[in-house]
Amino acid sequence: MKIAITGASGFIGSVLVPLLRADGHTLRLLTRSPRTQDGITFIKGDLLHEESLKTLVAGVDVVIHLAAIISIDDRAGEDTFRVNTSGTSLLLAAAKAAGVQRFIHISSVTAFNQSPYEGHMNESRALATTTGHNYDTSKAASQATALAANDTGFEVIVLAPTAVTGPFDYKPSLLGKAVINIYNGKIPALFPGGVDFVDVRDVAAAIVSSLTRGTPGSAYLLSGQWLSLQSLSEEIGVVNGRKISLTTIPLWLVFGMLPLVRFWSRITGGPPYYTKQSVHNLIYSNKNIDSSRARSELQFNPRPFSETIRDMITWFRQNGFLK
């Protein structure tokens, strides 16, 4: 197949692209910094540049839309919302006009309303409807736009992974940084709550599967295993061969320290250690996310988290991220 991909330089893309190349697909990638690589055509541009999107999708069979701005900033992110929503709309229009057969949109579990948090959650949940232009609302709006574009001859599949983690985390991601800091003993205490973790390799495999499988016009949740941050630190300790004992601080203290965290961030010029939104994501996350539709229709088969964290830490060691 001829496949166009946005966001291929990101975490999922770094695992997905080698899989697609190994299967013999011809790839065309949207990038701000084109380079030369055998078997891949690089198209210079971005999600808001219509001409580059038209060039990207011309003559391809499938579009895989990975690109999005990820933000846990407490302030209304109008740029984040605009890129994630308008970029998706422009790419859909270009793909449809070019006669693309299938459009695979990578959404997020945060696009869904996860409440009630202890209750069973599947794709029938309503989309997130928080106020403001935050990341969650941008993913919900983008997902709705993508599914609405599904039509005869233009098949749209949406994949919504939970918190993606695992090896090959080159940048590293926010979750990758947390694992590194816990392993290196740079985190004095933990926050309450947790998230559902899914291995990046399993997400990439589901994307490959969705090239030919899946029901057009459908969304698929890709979940793995829910762990509290305390359980995460214990799993890291098992791999490290030493027990990690960290105190979980109360929420009143977490939120009470936010002004100081913001003040320190302004002084240092770096990002805040945490935000109200990042804590919110930990406290208000569903513990029972059902991926049975993806298992049945996409052959999605998430591995145990113990395997993910072992391989992740091994990869971080081999690439100099860990002491």
pLDDT tens, residue by residue, 136-183: 888 999 999 999 999 999 999 999 999 999 999 998 988 898 899 899
- Checking if the pLDDT of 77 tops 70, the result is no
Using CB atoms within 10 A of its CB, is residue 82 exposed (0-12), middle (13-18) or buried (19+)? middle
- Checking if the pLDDT of 258 tops 90, the result is no
> Tens digit of pLDDT for each residue in 204-227?
999 999 999 999 999 999 999 999
The Cα–Cα gap between 125 and 254 comes to 30
Q: Where are the domains of the chain?
A: 2-171+196-224+288-303
The Cα–Cα gap between 312 and 176 comes to 9
The Cα–Cα gap between 242 and 159 comes to 37
The Cα–Cα gap between 97 and 77 comes to 30
Q: What's the confidence (pLDDT) of residue 270? A: 65
Helix (H) / strand (E) containing 106: strand 102-106
Mean pLDDT, range 44-50, rounded to an integer: 92
Q: What's the confidence (pLDDT) of residue 75? A: 62
Mean pLDDT, range 245-261, rounded to an integer: 82
> Tens digit of pLDDT for each residue in 7-36?
999 999 999 999 999 999 999 999 988 777
Q: What's the confidence (pLDDT) of residue 247? A: 87
- Checking if the pLDDT of 98 tops 90, the result is yes
The Cα–Cα gap between 84 and 86 comes to 6
Architecture of domain 2-171+196-224+288-303: 3-Layer(aba) Sandwich (3.40)
Strand-pair partners of 199 = 165
Q: What's the confidence (pLDDT) of residue 116? A: 86
Closest by Cα among 8, 143, 128, 142 to 64: 8
**Mean pLDDT score of the chain, rounded to an integer?**
90
In a 3-state reduction of DSSP, which class is residue 184?
coil
> pTM score, two decimals?
0.93
Mean pLDDT, range 186-200, rounded to an integer: 90
Helix (H) / strand (E) containing 43: strand 40-44
Q: What's the confidence (pLDDT) of residue 271? A: 67
CA angle 146, 286, 216 (to 5 degrees): 25
Lowest mean pLDDT among 17-21, 244-248, 290-294: 244-248
CA-CA-CA-CA torsion sign (140, 145, 146, 150): positive
In a 3-state reduction of DSSP, which class is residue 175?
helix
Using CB atoms within 10 A of its CB, is residue 219 exposed (0-12), middle (13-18) or buried (19+)? buried
